[in-house]
Structure formats: C-alpha cells, structure tokens
C-alpha cells in the first residue's frame, strides 16, 4: 500500500467532515437539512454508487470474491458478537450501558464512512464488495441491534430490510454474477449520482458531530481504551482469523478496513428511537470517528 496516498485521502475525508462540522456549528446544515440530505444519500446517491461499481462489468473481482466476502462477513459477526460482551466486561462497563457499548463494537460505520474510505484506498470496485458485507449488517442491525438498544423490548420487522441500499446491493450482485454490462449512458448517470455520496456522507457525519456540546465530548474516559480495542485490536484479530478464509490479500485488506470503521451512526438514531443513552452514543460516535483518522492509516501500515 502507498501510505502517502492513504494518508492524503484520509486527510481529504477528514477535511470534508470538518467542513460539515463547521456548517453544523454555523447553522448552514441544521437538523432539518441534515435529515433531508441523509434521506437523499440513503435513498438515491448511495444506491447509485453501489450500482455504478458494477455498471461496467466485473468490478475487477472474480465471481468467487462475492461469496468469500459474504462468508468472511458471517465469520466476523459470529466472532465479534460474543467478543463484544467480553470487551464490555473487561472495561467494567455499568450494566445500564453494557448493551449500548456492545452495539458500538458490533456495528460499525461500514456504509457512510466505509464506502468513501474503501474507494480512496482500493478504488471503485471495493464499494461493491462492501455492499455485499452490508447486507449482513442490515439484517443484524435491525434484529440483534434493535434488541440491544431497546433493552430486549424491540421486535424485528422484515419490512425494514426493504430499503434502497439493500435492494441496490442485491441488484449489483445480480449484475455482477450475470456479467451484464449496463448501457454507458446508464453507467455514466449512476456514476455521476454516486460521486456525490462520499462528500455528502462525510459532511453529514461532521454536521451530526456538531450537535454534541464540545465540553461533554471528552468526559467519557472509558471510550478511549474502548476505541483502541474496537479499532486496532479487533481488526487485527479479524485479519488473523480471516487470513485462513481469504486467499486474496486485497479482499483481506478490504475486510480489515471495514472491521476498523468507527461506531455506526445508526447507534445514535437507535438510541433516540428505543430509549437508550443517546448522549453516550453521540460521544462514542464522535470519539471513534476522530480516532479512525489515526487508526486506519496505522492499521494499513501494519498490513
């Protein structure tokens, strides 16, 4: 890996996120605009970006790559779920916060932040493989994730899985497996729409962080060892385990980077929706996101 290029790309993403933060602080991106822009990204530009990654054909990977990523993702979640509760006990997290911490370990920002970072490091085709992994994310987040954030009260509804991101992932997989090449005008349209996803997503992360009072951000001391475990120790463990499954170094790198993503922005939405500690969720999102701009280049240098 070209570390200079990775650091440069991560710096660009950080500056875009910082722009979103300043826009949030100045009121240029208020809560209403952020909600509308988030809806636009989730329902239009992100699905377009996923489809654009395979519009021209194979996305640069063999057909077995999709199956390997799906298997690797299943193994990752099978390992990380029990480990999450072990980390919670290791950090002596109070019972009232245990399920929230477990959620932040299990569910990472593999969409909003994962796609831009992977595109910067591995190119357009990596977005398709990440979308395959995110199929598992959707299923687990709206079942196990809801249970965790609701304290065992929430119920899974299959209807929440019928969303544009998951549908576009299934369509991209179908295009990939059948070697269909979309008309160039369709591919160009999808590419143009999808190209705004990365800056919009990073600005949305920044504007959401701007809602957290600065004096309260750094008071949760447990989040610092938590971030090191989540974003360095666990990704390195994932890399070691997945090394027995993935023979392709690039696939292994993609899965490792996905494992190193910060806490999912969904944790704040779910915390608000299901009555968990939204303030702690916001702090966790902020600290892990800021740490990721150090831990991801560091992790890449170790790979």
Residue ranges per domain, the chain? Answer: 3-302
- What's the rounded Cα separation, in Å, for the pair 282 and 69? 30
Structure confidence at residue 123 (pLDDT)? 83
| pLDDT tens sequence across 169-179 | 888 888 888 87
Average pLDDT of the segment spanning 115-140: 85
Average pLDDT of the segment spanning 91-119: 89
- Environment class of 85 (CB within 10 Å of its CB; exposed 0-12, middle 13-18, buried 19+): middle
The tokens 């806490």 sit on which residue? 263
* pLDDT-based confidence at residue 160 (cuts at 50, 70, 90): low
Statement: residue 59 has pLDDT above 70:
no
Provide, rounded to the nearest whole percent, the portion of the chain with pLDDT above 70: 94
- What's the rounded Cα separation, in Å, for the pair 70 and 90? 30
* pLDDT-based confidence at residue 252 (cuts at 50, 70, 90): very high
Average pLDDT of the segment spanning 240-269: 90
CATH class of 3-302: mainly alpha
Statement: residue 156 has pLDDT above 60:
no
* pLDDT-based confidence at residue 227 (cuts at 50, 70, 90): very high
Torsion-angle region of 61 (φ positive above 0: left; ψ -120 to 50: alpha; else: beta) = beta
| pLDDT tens sequence across 7-31 | 887 888 889 888 988 998 898 988 7
Structure confidence at residue 72 (pLDDT)? 94
| pLDDT tens sequence across 230-245 | 999 999 999 999 999 8
Residue 238 CA neighbour count, 13 Å, CB half: 34
Structure confidence at residue 91 (pLDDT)? 93
- What's the rounded Cα separation, in Å, for the pair 161 and 259? 22
Average pLDDT of the segment spanning 63-81: 91
This prediction has a pTM of 0.84
Q: Which of 262, 289, 296 is nearest to 104 (CA)?
A: 262
Statement: residue 57 has pLDDT above 70:
no
Average pLDDT of the segment spanning 91-114: 90
């Amino acid at each position: 890996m070209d570390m200079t290029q990775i650091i440069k790309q991560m710096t660009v993403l950080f500056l875009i996120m910082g722009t979103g933060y300043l826009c949030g602080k100045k009121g240029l991106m208020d809560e209403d605009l952020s909600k509308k822009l988030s809806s636009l990204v989730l329902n239009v530009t992100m699905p377009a970006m996923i489809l654009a990654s395979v519009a021209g054909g194979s996305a640069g990977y063999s057909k077995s790559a999709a199956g390997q990523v799906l298997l690797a993702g299943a193994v990752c979640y099978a390992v990380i779920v029990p480990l999450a509760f072990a980390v919670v006990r290791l950090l002596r997290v109070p019972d009232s916060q245990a399920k929230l911490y477990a959620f932040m370990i299990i569910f990472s920002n593999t969409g909003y932040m994962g796609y831009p970072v992977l595109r910067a490091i591995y190119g357009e085709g990596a977005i398709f493989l990440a979308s395959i992994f995110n199929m598992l994310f959707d299923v687990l987040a709206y079942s196990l994730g809801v249970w965790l954030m609701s304290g065992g009260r929430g119920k899974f509804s299959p209807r929440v899985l019928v969303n544009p991101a998951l549908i576009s992932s299934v369509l991209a997989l179908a295009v990939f497996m059948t070697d269909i090449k979309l008309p160039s005008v369709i591919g160009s349209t999808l590419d143009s729409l999808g190209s705004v996803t990365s800056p919009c997503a990073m600005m949305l992360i920044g504007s959401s962080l701007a809602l957290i009072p600065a004096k309260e951000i750094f008071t949760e001391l447990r989040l610092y060892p938590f971030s090191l475990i989540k974003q360095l120790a666990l990704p390195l463990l994932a890399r070691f385990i997945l090394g027995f499954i993935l023979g392709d170094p690039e696939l292994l790198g993609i899965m490792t980077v996905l494992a190193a993503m910060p806490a999912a922005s969904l944790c704040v939405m779910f915390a608000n929706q299901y009555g968990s500690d939204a303030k702690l969720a916001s702090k966790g999102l902020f600290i892990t996101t800021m740490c990721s701009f150090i831990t991801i280049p560091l992790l890449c240098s170790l790979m």
